[in-house]
Amino acid sequence: MTAEDVTKDLSIYVNKEKAKGLQRFFKTGKGEYGEGDVFIGVNVPSQRIVAKKYIKLRLSEVQKLLHSKVHEYRLTALLILTYQYSEANEKNRKRIVDFYLRNTQYINNWDLIDLSSVEILGEYFLEHRAYKKIIYKFARSKSLWERRISIISTFTFIRNRQFDDSLKIAGILLNDNEDLIHKAVGWMLREIGKRDLKTEEEFLKKHYQKMPRTMLRYAIEKFPEKKRQFYLLKK
């Protein structure tokens, strides 16, 4: 199995018209967050089919895909890693996590992060608490993508009703300038609220007046309308 085999299988699903739409959707124009990213028009379900076929792909070959300019090659590489991680023993899980952390510069769009960081970093950090310091380092990174990884990977903690780290990271990112961070933080706050509304509202009451509006809107999206308006009108 090689990276070239993976790209050949992905080529079966290429859709040039879809590629044009994806170029726009993922903001690949000059000065946009995805500037220079290249799409070939393969949807995620098709990438999952290919990724499952290559679950035994060596990390050296996964790296070739991950270093590609083609977005779908990078995402397929990350999907392969998530499948490998789910079946790996302790030693190989650490290898996968270390590989992921060495290659964050190539995990450089929001879907790449959202479809991989929870299943790999989040799961590992939940079981290996000493590694958690990495998400705090990423929260203060100059890289937009590492900052997004820092908050999104805590979704695993939230699913396990452990909210403290997510709330601390949200606090660090409260004044971030990037809309993609505002959305991510708001999303994680909303997920906390689904499980413990009191905890979410304690954070909101302390911070909502200085939260970016997009962050707040995402956080209160599922609130009853009267409560939503309370936060929006008092901001």
What is the rounded distance in angstroms from the CA atom of residue 145 to the CA atom of residue 113?
8
Within this chain, do residues 102 and 77 fall inside the same structural domain, yes or no? yes
pLDDT of res. 121: 95
Within this chain, do residues 155 and 42 fall inside the same structural domain, yes or no? no
Could you report the per-residue pLDDT of 135-169, keeping only the tens digit for each? 999 999 999 999 999 999 999 999 999 999 999 99
Could you report the per-residue pLDDT of 91-136, keeping only the tens digit for each? 999 999 999 999 999 999 999 999 999 999 999 999 998 888 999 9
Residue 55 in tokens: 């679950």
Within this chain, do residues 84 and 158 fall inside the same structural domain, yes or no? no
Could you report the per-residue pLDDT of 173-207, keeping only the tens digit for each? 999 999 999 999 999 999 999 999 999 999 999 99
Within this chain, do residues 97 and 138 fall inside the same structural domain, yes or no? no
Q: Which of 108, 141, 174 is the last residue of a domain?
A: 108
As a whole number, the mean pLDDT across the chain is 93
Residues in the chain: 235
Q: Residue 174: exposed, middle, or buried by beta-carbon count in 10 A (0-12, 13-18, 19+)?
A: middle
Q: Residue 235 above 70 pLDDT?
A: no
DSSP 128: -
Q: Show the domain range for 99.
A: 1-108
pLDDT of res. 134: 94
Within this chain, do residues 185 and 131 fall inside the same structural domain, yes or no? yes
Q: What is the pTM of this model?
A: 0.90
Within this chain, do residues 169 and 100 fall inside the same structural domain, yes or no? no
Q: Which of 47, 80, 108 is the last residue of a domain?
A: 108
CATH number of the domain enclosing 153: 1.25.10.90
Within this chain, do residues 164 and 146 fall inside the same structural domain, yes or no? yes
- 33: closest CA among 173, 172, 179? 179
| Range scoring the smallest mean pLDDT among 6-15, 25-34, 40-49, 60-69 | 25-34
Rg over CA atoms, the chain: 19
Q: Which of 58, 81, 108 is the last residue of a domain?
A: 108
Total of domains in the chain: 2
Within this chain, do residues 4 and 38 fall inside the same structural domain, yes or no? yes
Kindly give, in sequence order, each residue whose CB lies less than 8 Å from that of residue 99, ignoring residues fewer than 6 positions away: 59, 62, 63, 81
pLDDT of res. 31: 81
